Structure 1
Amino acid sequence: MQAVAPAFVSLNGPDNVGKTTQLRLLAERRPHFQPLGAIHDHDPKPWARVVAGDYARWWFETSTTAELTEMLLVGHTKRAAAREAGRTGLLDRGLPMLLAVAAATCAVKDGLTVREALDTVTGIADPRTALSETSILLLPSIDPNRSYAITSAREGRPWTGVYPTYQRTLHAVLLLQADQGAYTAVVDCEDRTRDDVHAEVLARVGTYLSAPPLKDGNPR
């Protein structure tokens, strides 16, 4: 029986792990891959509104966990709707990663443990936002301290304020999700070239490269 391609393939991971590069390389492989970018591209008005003010303060202080999570998920739903029939949408951060972002923010802002924050955000999420999604998690390192050190060094300038704490927490959330099986595959990128990482990403989605995609993005 021929495998059926997922409606969506998402690349996930912390800042500076190489998601954008790997998505571009995937898009170059097959014409049926449709790059859909980030959620902000598909729901720009609310994001423009918060960016126009003190964005960091809104994100880490004044927004509620429910508000942030819902904004992320509305953008996610609108992005999914932009997928053309017969193509596989490529997502810069899929549903698991968006929940990780919200959970890391919740943990930092509300003083919860990583597990408590992830449970809180998962409880807010609408089950209808789930997609037929092959979600690949790219990690700079399996070790959380090494992972943070690698991504922060690649930033080119020091992270300040609450952001270092947020990034460390995000790495912890991603590892917890990986342990829980939230991602289709986890790729350890430490000490590997871009092409080596891409070869593994291809292997993870290779089953679907010549298969017909789903006709819609219905929940699993």
Structure 2
Amino acid sequence: MPETCEFISLNGPDNTGKTTQLRQLAGRWDGFQVLGAIHEHDPAPWKKAAVHDYARWWFEWSTTVELTSLLAIGNAKRAEARKPGRTGLLDRGLPMLMAVAAATCVVKEGLSGREALWTVREIAGPIPAPSETAVLLLPSLDPERSYATTSAREGRPWTGIYPRYQKVLHEILLRQAEEGAYDLVVDCEHLSIADVHERIVEGIGGQLAAEASGEGELR
């Protein structure tokens, strides 16, 4: 991990506990700044996309260039909101946003996961990206069990193209993990919320301790 930590992102598929872990992490140190999701920092294009049918825009009408660019630009604008001397907490960082764009590309255009990741990385390449420590939370290291866990937590059936998109997303996240796209990967299978949080804190604790010295203590 880098010597200084400007941003920490929590990543993972739907229903993995990212929001819960972000909230708990935010309470551990006064030097954190919760920056949340990208649409909060660049709302206009997302509101425009949702005017008619957001799901159809995402999976049918938008191009890979349009969607990927929107995600990467939103990430850059979110980074600009970080106050000097603070460590920004991100709900999904750039690796996760690229996974989302790649999974969408696979289900829309029929590319392989490898081809889709290469495509979206090329599109996002020229757009400034903040330096982040990226944590990936996975319900399981097995893609089928991972998908089964998150879909069961949804509380209602996923329909249409969404089940296939989610399955592809789980596979791409695992591919990214194997490629080293994340600084810390937490296998959440058989772990409680408290156990997952402990793994996160242990994984990034040394860096946070260095950041916190002189600016309050980690709790």
- 8 Å contact from structure 2 (residues 42, 74) kept in 1: yes
**Distance in 2 of aligned mates of 1:83 and 1:211:** 19
Aligned partner letter, 1:174:
L
In structure 2, the residue matched to 1:67 is: 66
In structure 2, the residue matched to 1:17 is: 16
**Distance in 2 of aligned mates of 1:70 and 1:30:** 33
- Once the 2 structures are TM-superposed, how far is the Cα of residue 127 of structure 1 from its aligned partner? 4.6
- Once the 2 structures are TM-superposed, how far is the Cα of residue 191 of structure 1 from its aligned partner? 1.1
**Distance in 1 of aligned mates of 2:81 and 2:209:** 22
In structure 2, the residue matched to 1:217 is: none
| Alignment partner of 1:150 is 2:149 | yes
**Distance in 1 of aligned mates of 2:52 and 2:185:** 36
- What secondary structure, in the 3-state scheme, does the structure 1 residue paired with 2:117 have? helix
- Deviation digits for residues 51-95 of structure 1 (CA, Å, limit 9, x no counterpart): 111111111111100000000011101100000000000000000
- Once the 2 structures are TM-superposed, how far is the Cα of residue 129 of structure 1 from its aligned partner? 2.8
**Distance in 2 of aligned mates of 1:142 and 1:160:** 24
Aligned partner letter, 1:189:
C
- What secondary structure, in the 3-state scheme, does the structure 1 residue paired with 2:185 have? strand
- Deviation digits for residues 172-191 of structure 1 (CA, Å, limit 9, x no counterpart): 11011011110001100011
- Unpaired segments of 5 or more residues in structure 2? 213-219
**Distance in 1 of aligned mates of 2:101 and 2:82:** 24
- Unpaired segments of 5 or more residues in structure 1? 214-220
TM-score (normalised: structure 1): 0.93
- Deviation digits for residues 95-142 of structure 1 (CA, Å, limit 9, x no counterpart): 000000000000000011111111111111125533221000000000
In structure 2, the residue matched to 1:208 is: 207
- Once the 2 structures are TM-superposed, how far is the Cα of residue 26 of structure 1 from its aligned partner? 0.5
- What secondary structure, in the 3-state scheme, does the structure 2 residue paired with 1:183 have? coil
- What secondary structure, in the 3-state scheme, does the structure 2 residue paired with 1:34 have? strand
| Alignment partner of 1:123 is 2:122 | yes
- 8 Å contact from structure 2 (residues 8, 134) kept in 1: yes
Aligned partner letter, 1:150:
T
In structure 1, the residue matched to 2:217 is: none
**Number of paired residues?**
211
RMSD: 1.2
Aligned partner letter, 2:104:
T
In structure 1, the residue matched to 2:102 is: 103
In structure 2, the residue matched to 1:216 is: none
- 8 Å contact from structure 2 (residues 136, 184) kept in 1: yes
TM-score (normalised: structure 2): 0.94
4+ runs deviating over 3 angstroms: none
- 8 Å contact from structure 1 (residues 5, 88) kept in 2: no
Alignment of 1:1-220 (within 5 A): 4-212=3-211
